[in-house]
């Protein structure tokens, strides 16, 4: 007979809602997770979401400081700091048939970007809206960094559960808190290397 693990009563009690007095938002706090404390004053309806830690500083060599390196096989994005270190972020990547590699640069940056699905995506998914204004329900999330003249972007997500998976149409997805962190570090012209 197969046993199904149950959450302990202590774990259930620890999954409580926290709301600081006078705070504009509440956070779920779960055992073993770190919550995002990011709050975007430009979009007051945005609420932080509980999530497992998705970034940290790691040892990394091979590229110059300021370079963004994406390993699609590891599902990690590295922002190279120099001195043998980089910030490592968990990312979602292209599903089978939508993987790609190469070198680009960031050509545009947008906060809470609008979304217009490309024609190729609409052919596959005619049910998608033709246009969606920026906001918390937008698939591009809190920030987008456009890569060269391609249709690909590094962007946030309204589906944080997909981070660490291969489900996108080729774009690189990040949690909204992580994409804001990266967005604040890079500039237009930053080199982006995508490794398969």
Average the pLDDT over 24-33 and give the result. 30
Question: Is the pLDDT assigned to residue 22 strictly greater than 90?
Answer: no
> Using CA atoms, how far apart are residues 135 and 139, in angstroms rounded to an integer?
9
Arithmetic mean of pLDDT, 168-195: 96
pTM for the model: 0.74
| Predicted confidence (pLDDT) per residue in 60-93, tens digit | 999 999 999 999 999 999 999 999 999 999 999 9
As a whole number of Å, the end-to-end CA separation of the chain is: 42
**33-42, 101-110, 153-162, range with the lowest pLDDT:** 33-42
How many Å apart are CA 138 and CA 27, to the nearest integer? 21
Within 8 A by CB and 6+ apart from 105, the residues are 147, 148, 188, 189, 190, 191, 192
Q: Which domains does the chain carry?
A: 9-51 (no CATH), 55-195 (2.40.440.10)
Residue 52: per-residue pLDDT: 52
Of 194, 111, 120, which is closest to residue 151 (Cα–Cα)? 120
Instruction: Choose among 20, 36, 19, 27: nearest CA to 174.
Output: 36
Give the model confidence (pLDDT) of 142-164 as tens digits: 999 999 999 899 999 999 999 99
Residue 122: its pLDDT value, please? 87
Question: Does 23 have pLDDT greater than 50?
Answer: no
Looking at residue 25, its pLDDT comes to 28
Catalytic residues: 155, 171
Residues 6+ apart with CB under 8 A from 58: 78, 85, 86, 87, 88
Greater confidence (36 vs 19) lies with 36
């Amino acid at each position: 007979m197969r046993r199904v693990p149950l959450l302990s009563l202590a774990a259930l009690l620890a999954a409580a809602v926290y709301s600081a007095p006078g705070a504009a938002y509440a956070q779920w706090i779960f055992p073993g997770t770190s919550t995002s404390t990011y709050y975007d004053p430009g979009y007051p309806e945005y609420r932080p979401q509980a999530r497992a830690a998705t970034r940290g500083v790691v040892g990394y060599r091979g590229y110059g400081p300021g370079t963004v390196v994406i390993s699609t096989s590891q599902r990690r994005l590295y922002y190279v700091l120099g001195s043998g270190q980089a910030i490592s972020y968990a990312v979602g990547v292209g599903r089978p048939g939508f993987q790609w590699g190469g070198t680009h640069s960031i050509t545009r940056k947008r906060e809470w970007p609008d979304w217009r699905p490309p024609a190729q995506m609409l052919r596959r998914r005619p049910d998608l809206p033709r246009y969606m204004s920026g906001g918390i329900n937008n698939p591009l999330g809190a920030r987008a960094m456009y890569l060269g003249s391609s249709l690909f972007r590094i962007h946030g997500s309204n589906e944080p559960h997909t981070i660490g998976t291969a489900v996108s149409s080729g774009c690189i997805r990040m949690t909204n808190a992580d994409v804001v962190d990266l967005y604040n570090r890079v500039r237009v012209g930053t080199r982006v290397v995508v490794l398969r």
